[in-house]
Amino acid sequence: MEGQFSQRDLAPVGGLRAARQKPDPIGIEAAALALGRGVKAAAGFGFEVEICAAAMCPRMGAVAFLESRSKWTRGSQDVIAYTLRLRELVGRATSWEVETDNPYCGCDPQFIEWFGDVVVFVYREKHHAYVARVGFDHRPDYRSIADDWILDAREIVYRRAHAPTVERLSIPDLEALPPLSAEEAGERDLLPEQFFWGVRCHDAPVAARDS
């Protein structure tokens, strides 16, 4: 059955692999259409809301989307907030105000997907990257991670700058798993690339060549 599933089909059964990625404009448009609104919309009192990232769950008839809410006054943006919203097209709705140190500095969505009946959301704010879990029947939870990460099936791995080990969290529960050495992570193809000042650092173990 290889090749018959999209990434969105595989996420609920633990077959998804992902790293930092830009929001999917097609997914955003699909979410806006399902919600019966525009990607950008007026929200009253001078506010504008925009869908910044989104993921559909056809099985549940639900959509998850990151929404920004902002207001411009005399040419400057003086109010801004980011909220992750989950909504069944007929039924329940819930939301989580995204953890940020300073929302004026933005929220960079890097991954959003359904895992069963919860959503896993990875993003970066001013100072840190986070992975969050939000569901209709689950209390929102989040963890600080490193900028360089790989989500592989039911775990997310990340490596902090200059760290000798790779840290791991279960997906979607966000429970700590035993860390891996750089060598172990490299053997399992789980060693995130690291960037310092925009330069990729190649420190993964190199396979021995035949002499």
Average pLDDT in the chain: 85
pLDDT in tens, 66-76: 999 998 777 67
Rounded Cα distance, 65 and 171, in Å = 19
Going 28 to 32 to 34 to 35, the CA torsion angle's sign is positive
Rounded Cα distance, 195 and 114, in Å = 28
Report yes or no: 167 and 27 within 8 Å, Cβ to Cβ.
no
> Where residue 46 falls among pLDDT bands split at 50, 70, 90?
confident
Rounded Cα distance, 93 and 64, in Å = 10
Q: What one-character-per-residue DSSP string does 65-107 give? A: EEEEEEEEETTEEEEEEEEEEEEESSS-EEEEEPP-S-GGG--
**pLDDT beyond 70 at 108:** yes
Question: For every residue of 104-159, which 3-state class applies, written as one string?
Answer: HHCCEEEEEEEECCEEEEEEECCCCEEEEEEECCEEEEEEEECCCEEEECCEEEEC
Q: What one-character-per-residue DSSP string does 17-30 give? A: EE-S----HHHHHH
Per-residue pLDDT at 207: 34
> Where residue 6 falls among pLDDT bands split at 50, 70, 90?
very low
What residue spans define the domains of the chain? Answer: 8-194
pLDDT in tens, 50-71: 999 999 999 899 999 999 999 8
Per-residue pLDDT at 77: 65
Tokens of 201: 């650092």
Per-residue pLDDT at 73: 76
